[in-house]
Chains A and B, each alone.
Chain A
């Protein structure tokens, strides 16, 4: 039986550890994605993820709209990510444009000649905002446009168009590489 998010939140708030683990399993990739798409390295992204989950654990009994948990997690992860970015920029002032992409990057997939590797490379050919939005939507299809906008700091009205355009660009690149069928 697949339990609803609301039911899982209710059970986890009653200290049901299995329910808590299921919540973590469902949303851990989303929380991680928000931190990584704010260009945090793996260590800072792990700190942001931990802080987000710990905050949720303590807020569970007071969570007002449990059905909107995905949005709450994404927004909390963004707030923590921005705090860390502020501290890091102060420690080591860098030009934003000089910052390397946080994920391993396309070179990690160079040796992987399979379709996943090609897809990973294609994703890194997309503008950052494209990749970030597609990543959030991929991990959490139930995320509303308003929630996705808040998590990435973009206007609600641009979420739909960005999603459509980026998927089209990605699809074209994959078709050029012969990785998806031309329709």
Chain B
């Protein structure tokens, strides 16, 4: 057995004992993101800790869009808590297979829970943000 044959055997063994779950990657098609999608207009500009509190959990993300930004905290659950500043229009959260309109109060704050586990992405007035996971 030469190196190439051995490596092929290894690939088979990894697939047998630690297989890729079914459906992964195919969901991108169902999410309708394959081609024709808006250019990613919300850019990830901050990714960090929740006030540096160890054990508090949650991930803080900041996205910049035309004229403003959205800051959001993701908690296990899955819950998003955040603040929109300077961005106009409706705010949506999407995931492979669905999306929900987020209700934002007059100060720009929002809380939304009961979201599915897995990758999420924010959309503000058609400006699409990158995919993130908690």
Contact = CB atoms under 8 A, between A and B. Distances in A.
B107 interface: no
Interface size class of A (residues with CB under 8 A): 35 or more
Interface of A: 12-15, 17, 20-21, 24, 28-29, 31-33, 36, 42-44, 46-51, 53-62, 80, 83-84, 87, 90-93, 103-104, 108-109, 116, 119-120, 123, 134-135, 137-139, 141, 167, 170-171, 180-181
Contact of B34 (A17, A36, A55, A167): A17
Given A20-B29, A29-B20, A181-B1, A116 B12 contact: yes
Given A93-B55, A116-B12, A36 B18 contact: yes
Interface centre among A24, A58, A83, A170 (most CB of B within 10 A): A58
B35 A60 contact: yes
Contacts of A53: 24-25, 27-28
Interface stretch (B2-10, B63-71, B79-87): B2-10
Given A29-B11, A47-B133, A51-B132, A58 B57 contact: no
Contacts of A135: 10, 14
Contact of B131 (A51, A87, A93): A51
B117 interface: yes
A-B complex: 8 closest residue pairs judged by Cβ atoms: A24-B25, A57-B28, A53-B25, A138-B10, A47-B133, A138-B11, A15-B35, A32-B20
A118 to B, nearest CB: 9
Contacts of B21: 42, 46
B35 A87 contact: no
